Amino acid sequence: MSDQPAANVIEVERVLAETHRPIFQAMLLALCGLCLLIDGFDAQAMGYVAPSVIAEWHVAKTALGPVFSASLFGMLLGALGLSVLADHIGRRPVLIGATFFFSLSMLATPFVATIPALITLRFITGLGLGCIMPNAMALVGEFSTPAHRVKRMMLVSCGFTLGAALGGFVSAALIPAYGWRAVFWVGGAVPLLLGFAMLTRLPESLQFLVLKGRSARAASWLAKFDPALPINANTRLVVSEKRNDGAPVAELFRAGRGPVTLILWAISFMNLIVLYFLSNWLPTVMREAGYTPGTAVIVGTVLQTGGVIGTLLLGWFIERMGFVRVLFACFAVATVAVGTIGAVAHLLPWLLVVVFAGGFCVVGGQPAVNALAGHFYPTALRSTGIGWSLGIGRIGSVIGPLVGGQLIALNWSNAALFHAAAVPVLCSALLVVVLAGATRQPRRASEAELA
């Protein structure tokens, strides 16, 4: 008989499912949630300071259209490129590196004094911002059991919307007292501090490490997750998924995933056209409608507040009713709400109601689409799947502010502007119906659960 001791086999998913570690989970949710909160704050900062920049620099409103789109184009490239990188090197290094990167970019923004310089710097900032959402959601999802994955991914993604809403309140307080540049000082300093906290406390995905053959690092993080585990030199960690060495983007179209991948991209594209049109132009349009700068900012904040509440409640509904039913109802209601904004623009109470409803469904619906991608794809493709869904969608986020700026330049009425904005949301609702058809013939367990 051999004197070699038998290997101690540990199933990673079973440990995650059976070990109650509320402090560890709370720390992970806090770090990723704060990262997304600052991401949302910084991504929407330009929309909140736009009226002040226009007044100080004496430029036309339409001059800021390229500024909005430059940031979004950077986020698009960041989501596409760095999400794939994260499926090669890990979620942890990409999240930490991106947080430091966009922090320094935000701190540099107050020093610019021209539109071309602002366009350049917002593009650079967007590169760091773009990869935060897919990697934070992937990391939280991979430390969750399937029963709680959607709820936790929706919860952490709420940080982005909360940050965007918080940005409105912070901007409304900072701009009158200290000027618009103070918004970027705050937006850069906070993630700089957060980055140092992430260096010491943010874990790496256990499933990712095992699938990549980095068992020693996986064992080290697993020991931190559950110090009671009998981990030694003979311990062998296993996961239920198989290793995938193919090109991550190509894998999104294999094993029957192609139709759902394309539909996810199209839904994200349509929804983000409207989301970023509303986020960037709503305060400015309301200012032109006769409201004070403070009230115009509050209208934009109500949009994001609706998104926060929508994100929290939609996750609860999805767990009970499935993605397809909830998303269809969400986008159908959004079509009516967005299309009504212009008609009630002169009635502040009703304006706040329909803007809140639009935020609930459009802003709150986007994390649901992201969670759907995270739920659908396996570990080896999760960051790429979420990142490419967001990245392709952000083509729409670039188009939305640009087209909005052009329609405003053509002197479209408020009613016509928001009727046009409702069309992509209607397309999202119809695409959810197509998604239901694509998932009616189950190919994999995760796909069968979407309805």
pLDDT tens digit sequence for 218-230? 888 888 888 878 8
CA distances from 175 to 51, 179, 180, 406 (A): 10, 4, 5, 27
The DSSP H or E segment spanning 131 is: none
Residue with tokens 């967005």: 338
Q: What are phi and psi of 21, to 5 degrees?
A: -125, 70
Q: What's the pLDDT score for residue 2?
A: 46
Question: How far apart are alpha carbons 183 and 42 in whole angstroms?
Answer: 9
The four Cα atoms 110, 113, 116, 117 give a dihedral, to 10 degrees, of: -40
Is 168 within 8 Å of 141 (Cβ atoms)?
no
Tokens of 35: 């990262």
User: How confident is the model at residue 244, as a pLDDT?
Assistant: 66
* Two tokens, residue 276: 């970023």
pLDDT digits (tens, 9 = 90+) for 123-139: 999 898 888 988 998 89
Say how far residue 120 (Cα) sits from the centre of its chain: 22
The answer to whether 381 and 56 are in contact (CB under 8 A) is: no
Computed over every residue of the chain, the mean pLDDT equals: 86
Q: Report whether 404 contacts 417 (CB < 8 A).
A: yes
In the chain, where the domains are located: 10-448
What is the average pLDDT across 357-367?
Answer: 92
How is residue 380 written in tokens?
A: 């080896």
Residue type, 446: S
- 9 burial (CB, 10 Å; 0-12 / 13-18 / 19+) is exposed
pLDDT on residue 43:
80
Q: What are phi and psi of 10, to 5 degrees?
A: -120, 125
Per-residue confidence (pLDDT) for residue 445, from 0 to 100: 40
SS3 of 85, please?
A: helix
* Sequence-separated (6 or more) residues with CB below 8 Å from residue 234: 5, 6, 7, 8
Strands 8-11 and 235-238: what pairing?
Answer: parallel
The lowest-confidence range among 3-7, 79-83, 133-137, 158-162 is: 3-7
- Of all residues in the chain, what percent carry a pLDDT higher than 70? 95
pLDDT at residue 245 above 70?
no
Average pLDDT of span 109-122: 92
- Which pLDDT tens digit goes with each residue over 395-409? 887 788 778 888 888
Q: What is the mean pLDDT of residues 40-56?
A: 85
Indicate whether 448 pLDDT > 50: no
Task: Report d(CA 274, CA 396) in Å as an integer.
Answer: 8
Q: What share of the chain has pLDDT > 90, as a percent?
A: 33
Predicted pLDDT of residue 181 = 93
Please compute the mean of the pLDDT values over residues 411-435 and round it to a whole number.
91
In whole angstroms, give the CA distance from residue 213 to residue 444.
25
Residue 155 to residue 368: CA distance in whole angstroms: 10
Total Cβ atoms within 10 A of residue 292: 10
**DSSP codes of every residue in 387-431:** HHHHHHHHHHHHHHHHHHHHHHHTT--HHHHHHHHHHHHHHHHHH
- Mean pLDDT over 168-181 rounds to 88
Amino acid sitting at position 343: A
| pLDDT for 8 | 77
- pLDDT band (50, 70, 90) for residue 289: confident
Task: Give the torsion sign (CA, 250, 251, 257, 263).
Answer: negative
> Does the pLDDT at position 192 exceed 90?
yes
Helices (H) and strands (E) in the chain, counts: 19, 2
Least confident of 50-64, 103-117, 245-259, 263-277: 245-259
* Dist CA 239 CA 210 (whole Å): 7
User: How high is the pLDDT of residue 339?
Assistant: 93
Which CATH topology does 10-448 take?
Answer: Growth Hormone; Chain: A; (1.20.1250)
What would the mean pLDDT of 352-373 be, rounded to a whole number? Answer: 92
pLDDT for 121 beyond 60: yes
**Predicted local confidence at residue 447, as pLDDT:** 42
Rounded CA-CA distance 362/314 in Å is 11
| 216 pLDDT tier (thresholds 50, 70, 90) | confident
> What is the per-residue DSSP string for 3-60?
-SPPPEEEEHHHHHHH---HHHHHHHHHHHHHHHHHHHHHHHHHHHHHHHHHHHHT--
